[in-house]
Amino acid sequence: MMRSVLLLSAIAAYAMATESTASPLAGNTQQKCKTAIERADKQGSLYPKNLFGEGNENGCLSYVDYQSQFCNECERLRKVSERYVNGMCCPTYECVRRDDNPCCGVTCKANTYEEAEEKCNVIYENNQVWNELSVYFGAMVAVKVETADPARGKCCDKYQCETNNAVLCEIEIERTPCVTEATCPACYYAEQSEPTNIAEHKCCASIVCVRDNTCMCNNRDNQECPMPTCNEFEQLVVLAEATADSCCAVYTCQRNLAKICAAKQEIAVFNVFDNEGQIVEQTGFTDETPSRVCGPCQTVQKFKPANFAAGRCFPEWKCVPVADKCCENSFYVGQGILDLDGNSCDDYKPDCSADDCATAIVVRPMNEIKGRCCDTWACAVDNVCACNKINCPFETAVQYQAYFCPNRPGDKVAQLKEVVTIPAVPEAGKCCPTFSCRDTAAKKVKDVRLAKRKAKRASRAAAKAAAASTTASPATTRK
């Protein structure tokens, strides 16, 4: 194809050099080409004749001659343009690959698997010694990644070189054996830090030599360890365990908080209430100490128990007064109930002996929550008893009516007054009945009739007066 391009370029350059003005017409191109050949004949130049073909028709190479001179067996000739087109004196051709045999003339790198594997094991080219010394020599394998398909233009099988890690590890271990426990010194043992992984090209397991402290300490010269001396309030504790640098554990004396707190509780002194309500001293702490410190009139609240491990030897609590505000004045044995001022409640009870019908009663009971420590007393009179000593002015309604609103004599005479009686209630203090006079229905009817008569009389008198005034008016004369 390159040859055809060069040939076409030479022809075009020669044709363009012989013409003074370019013309797109084929006739002009034909005339120029003929003139160029005649001029070459006169000058004795063989270049145009060799170029166009001296014995060929029209001075140009034939298709067969062009094919035999410029294209190989794996190529065919393809016409690009006719003669006199684009300023060319001859038809233009180019050599292209044959479509029926695209793999003609193609040489493959490896035709078989053995050839491919042999090429993969060439680590260093042109140096057989270095090649055989390489650990990869013999560990490389060929893997076919693409199969040949000439019809589609794939002329060769494609192979890829890969490493067979198993074979590679065998070669490496044969040349350099793996490290074992035998390489560790005395009193050291091997521990695997990382296992083998053939896929990741890790042929040997990684090991570390770990020191055996027990072995080292058992083989030392002086095997006695120092120990401190602790008192009765201390205990022996391990400050530091034995290490690789020290075969003996480090001990120290630490305060025994439990023993210290127990001793403090035994000698502690508290002011507590005894059974008679007196404050006395108590030596030593017990579970009843908080309640005895607070006393009978206070309760233990917000109690926080002791914690020897934290160094809190005594519990914490708060004494809160009880709801009974009178407790402090009344809990003493033998003194009875007292008020807030310390006086006996019996002093407030009244003496009702002066009245035979009176007795002492509680009108307001005590209320410890409000601070009212004593009952409120009063002399209550027995109304029935008091009423028995009273003489009522009227015992019956008949007596009252006879005195205040007596009836008219006669059985058939309508009575104008009657008596309303409210009976006595001695239990409520109403010793005598109450009487009152009230008009009867006959009296009310009588009053209505009397009012009507008076109204009629007044109406008649008014009519007469009006008539008299009307009669007197005409007698008046105008002056």
Written as tens digits, the pLDDT of the chain (479 aa) is 444 433 444 444 444 444 433 344 566 777 778 777 777 666 665 444 444 444 444 567 777 888 888 888 888 888 888 877 777 788 888 888 877 777 887 888 888 888 888 889 888 888 888 888 888 888 888 888 888 888 787 888 899 999 888 998 988 888 888 888 888 888 888 898 889 888 888 889 888 998 887 888 888 777 788 889 999 899 999 988 877 678 888 899 999 999 999 999 999 999 998 877 788 999 999 999 999 998 888 899 889 999 998 889 999 999 998 888 777 776 543 345 666 666 777 777 888 888 888 888 888 888 878 878 888 888 888 888 888 888 888 888 888 888 888 887 777 777 788 889 999 888 888 889 999 998 888 888 888 989 999 999 999 989 888 888 887 655 444 44
**In this structure, are 130 and 194 located in the same domain?**
no
Give me the residues paired with residue 437 across strands: 419
**In this structure, are 12 and 83 located in the same domain?**
yes
Q: How far apart are CA 182 and CA 180, in angstroms?
A: 5
Domain residues for 193? 181-218
- DSSP assignment string, 24-39: --HHHHHHHHHHHHHH
**In this structure, are 379 and 420 located in the same domain?**
no
What's the gap between Cα 380 and its chain centre? 73
Domain contains 471: no
Question: What backbone torsions phi and psi does residue 167 show, to the nearest 5 degrees?
Answer: -65, -40
Work out the end-to-end distance of the chain between its first and last CA atoms, rounded to an integer number of angstroms.
171
**In this structure, are 24 and 40 located in the same domain?**
yes
Q: How far apart are CA 186 and CA 13, in angstroms?
A: 93
User: Residue 346: its pLDDT value, please?
Assistant: 78
**In this structure, are 28 and 67 located in the same domain?**
yes
What the block records as the tokens of 191 is: 């521990």
Q: How far apart are CA 315 and CA 265, in angstroms?
A: 11
User: What beta strand segments (E) does 298-375 contain?
Assistant: 298-304, 316-321, 358-364
Tokens 């140096």, residue located: 127
DSSP designation for 149: B
Question: What backbone torsions phi and psi does residue 312 show, to the nearest 5 degrees?
Answer: -95, 100
**In this structure, are 432 and 368 located in the same domain?**
no
Counting the structural domains of the chain, the total is 6
Pair 79, 92: CB distance under 8 Å:
yes
**In this structure, are 90 and 120 located in the same domain?**
no
What the block records as the tokens of 373 is: 């420590």
**In this structure, are 167 and 190 located in the same domain?**
no
Element (H, E) at 417: strand 417-422
Pair 277, 331: CB distance under 8 Å:
yes
**In this structure, are 132 and 148 located in the same domain?**
yes
Domain C-terminal end among 97, 122, 144: 97
Domain contains 457: no
Domain C-terminal end among 49, 65, 97: 97
Domain C-terminal end among 68, 97, 126: 97
Q: How far apart are CA 358 and CA 382, in angstroms?
A: 6
Pair 258, 239: CB distance under 8 Å:
no
Domain contains 434: yes
User: Residue 354: its pLDDT value, please?
Assistant: 81
Domain contains 339: no
- DSSP assignment string, 250-274: EEEEEE-HHHHHHHHHHH-EEEEE-
What the block records as the tokens of 360 is: 């002492």
What number of residues does the chain have?
A: 479
User: Residue 271: its pLDDT value, please?
Assistant: 92
Measured CA distances, 194 to 175, 201, 204, 205 (Å): 21, 13, 9, 6
Domain contains 288: yes
- DSSP assignment string, 203-267: -S-EEEEEE-HHHHHHTSS----------TTEEEEEEE---SS-SS-EEEEEE-HHHHHHHHHHH
Q: Which of 245, 232, 178 is nearest to 205 (CA)?
A: 178
- Whole-model pTM: value is 0.34
**In this structure, are 244 and 315 located in the same domain?**
yes
**In this structure, are 213 and 234 located in the same domain?**
no
Domain contains 474: no
Residues 6 or more apart from 297 whose CB is under 8 A from it? 321, 322, 324, 327, 328, 331
Q: Which of 83, 80, 110 is nearest to 93 (CA)?
A: 80
**In this structure, are 147 and 203 located in the same domain?**
no
